[in-house]
Copies of this chain bind each other. A is one copy, B any other.
Amino acid sequence: MIVVMKDNASKNDIEKVVKRIEELGYKTHISRGTEITLIGIIGELNREELIDSLGAYPGIERLVPIQEPYKLAGKSFNDSRSRIKIGEDVVIGGKEVVMMAGPCAVESEQQIINTARAVKKAGAKILRGGAFKPRTSPYSFQGLHEKGLKYLKKAAEETGLKVITEVMDPRDVELVARYADIFQIGARNMQNFFLLKEVGKTDKPVMLKRGMNATYKEFLMAAEYIMSEGNHDVILCERGIRTFETYTRNTLDLVSVPVLNKLSHLPVVIDPSHGTGQWDLVGPAARGAVAIGADGLIIEVHPEPINALSDGQQSLKFDKFEELVDDLKKIARAIGRDL
């Protein structure tokens, strides 16, 4: 961190700032230019504490952060890419692009088992399905809760798939852990810090979705919350951000994949279903996602989208999903990956 003093800062202003920094336990390095004085702060930095502590000092023009504040999620912590194992056979972050698929919500035993069989046959490794649904309206279908988790687990066991499902309430972490192989944290909960800490105390992988208005850095700081509790198996998931454009449900930021690869060692999964909100855009977005380097895709698939209890308009039918996976295999091979 560098403190840039205002050009009219007095000697006294500068001394006060230096004193305060040293009180906080850091060393300083002062560099006086003809017009401007810079104060370098040396030591194991707590950036937010520094900003809080220095923010109101007169004479300070601005604080310039130099190093990133996400120690565990950042590139410097782990130069090679993290490979996250789900059970014995599935690795996210390796050569294979991993397909996760299933309905938005678990609606019935029959629905989820049929979907599990279809997505397994098409090539998926992980079954998705919500038992707790975050809905904008309190009057909408909120999920089957534990019954839904049971159906999901049963469908997965029968087909040999792994299970990913969302947890929304810190009080439900233990319950969901009994059925899931991967916790999903939804976009609306990306900064639900108590929930992050709670899954951070478990030993199950966590797929963290990017908040609709979260910068890359805030996204990695949220991952850091989980990791700082001891659980390093975090998978990042881009699912679209909110912009001025309303034609699509969200604006899918595919370039987040190479950006997050520059900043972090964690694997990155793309959700083209929420990212676009329209089933006929899911295929093109998925093709772009594989080519740009995603480590996995999570796609909504439903036996009968027109009868779905939620997100029917963005769900693929079984045959469309199978065709799409075939297309994606060709693109994966073209860039030297498996699928």
Contact = CB atoms under 8 A, between A and B. Distances in A.
A288 B292 contact: yes
Given A140-B49, A168-B194, A38 B2 contact: yes
A154 interface: no
A102 to B, nearest CB: 16
A242 interface: yes
Contacts of A309: 49, 52-53
Contacts of A137: 46-48, 69, 221, 224
A241 interface: yes
A9 to B, nearest CB: 12
Interface stretch (A108-116, A117-125, A157-165, A311-319): A311-319
A289 interface: yes
Interface in A104-147: 134-141
Interface in A232-262: 241-248, 251-255, 257-259, 262
A244 B247 contact: no
Contacts of A134: 191, 193
Contacts of A333: 334
A55 B188 contact: no
Contacts of A292: 254, 284-285, 287-288, 291
A192 B169 CA distance: 8
B247 A217 contact: yes
Contacts of A69: 137, 139
Chain A interface helix/strand/loop/mixed = mixed
Contacts of A211: 213
A111 to B, nearest CB: 14
A236 to B, nearest CB: 14
Interface in A75-118: none
A31 B38 contact: yes
Interface in A2-49: 2, 4, 7, 20, 29, 31, 33-36, 38, 40, 42, 46-49
B245 A253 contact: yes
Contacts of A212: 213
A36 B38 CA distance: 13
Interface of A: 2, 4, 7, 20, 29, 31, 33-36, 38, 40, 42, 46-49, 51-57, 61, 64, 66-67, 69, 134-141, 168-171, 188-189, 191-194, 197, 211-213, 215-218, 221, 224-225, 228, 241-248, 251-255, 257-259, 262, 275-276, 279-281, 284-285, 287-293, 305-315, 327, 330-331, 333-335
14 contacts: A52-B312, A53-B306, A56-B279, A56-B313, A56-B315, A69-B139, A135-B193, A171-B171, A192-B192, A213-B242, A215-B245, A262-B280, A285-B292, A287-B335
